[in-house]
Chain A
């Protein structure tokens, strides 16, 4: 039992990653917008799981709060607001869908060939392995929140403050855009 759990734990990232990709595919291919949102939610939760296996606990919780708690609810509100069923959809996909899929597949083949070279080439470069380390005296893996806060509030304070201004602009802009016209 113990060894079984250990061997499952080794592949936790792959399980979560495949769940994320599955949710993304459900998001693209489902006819109903609500089903798409459920696929999106599954994908975001699985990405949070991926962060956990990469020992970024703070980021995983933030992902849960921001995406599952905020953005998905926002999408649901808008779906309720716009009454998708009032107008018959002409079709799920754009006219240029075959060309788009061909383009994406071409790009995918290009990138996969790069992966192929790193995995199977005889003189394959040594694959990068993930290793924990120290950042300014803090163990990123074991003191994650402290390390992230030090990075955010000391090292990268300026981007953080700029982000706060961007959030304010987005707040005001959203209110102005979505408010109803008065007389």
Chain B
């Protein structure tokens, strides 16, 4: 049985890797994947606390977060495809239509 600290630490590592990926990569697909990574880190925390408290609320909400992540990635990928048709690129630093 893992200790609470181990779960929280692994989840923290996953989250910070996700934040770093969102901040440093140019490719918008990688950025979307890193957002998924952060959502998973939050899910891991929810499950761990559900286990700790002995109730099922955390697991139910982790399931809801999972569905929300699926919706988010669908919209994100549709946006990427539309953007690629428009601008012929998926590098975020070349998408500067709003730049004055």
Which residues in B have their C-beta under 8 angstroms from that of A66? Answer: 66-67, 69-70
Tell whether, in the assembled complex, residue B6 and residue A17 are in contact, meaning their CB atoms are under 8 Å apart.
yes
The residue that B25 contacts in the complex, of A92, A95, A127, A131, with Cβ under 8 A, is A92
> How many B residues are at the interface, by size bracket?
35 or more
A112 to chain B, nearest CB (A): 8
Count of residues in A whose CB is under 8 Å from the partner chain: 94
Which residues in A have their C-beta under 8 angstroms from that of B73? Answer: 71, 74-75
Tell whether, in the assembled complex, residue A132 and residue B57 are in contact, meaning their CB atoms are under 8 Å apart.
no
Tell whether, in the assembled complex, residue A160 and residue B64 are in contact, meaning their CB atoms are under 8 Å apart.
yes
Specify the main secondary structure of chain B where it touches its partner: helix
Which residues in B have their C-beta under 8 angstroms from that of A132? Answer: 51, 54
Tell whether, in the assembled complex, residue B10 and residue A147 are in contact, meaning their CB atoms are under 8 Å apart.
no
**Chain B: residues with CB nearer than 8 A to chain A?**
1-10, 12-14, 16-21, 23-27, 29-30, 32-34, 36-37, 40, 43-44, 47-48, 50-57, 59-64, 66-75, 77-82, 84-85, 88-93
**Chain A: residues with CB nearer than 8 A to chain B?**
10, 13-14, 17-18, 20-21, 24-25, 27-28, 33, 36-37, 40, 43-44, 47, 50-51, 53-56, 58-59, 62-63, 66-67, 70-71, 74-75, 77-79, 81-82, 84, 87, 89-97, 100-101, 103-104, 107-108, 111, 115, 118-119, 127-135, 138, 140-141, 144, 147-148, 150-152, 155-156, 159-160, 163, 166-167, 169-171, 173-175, 177-178, 180
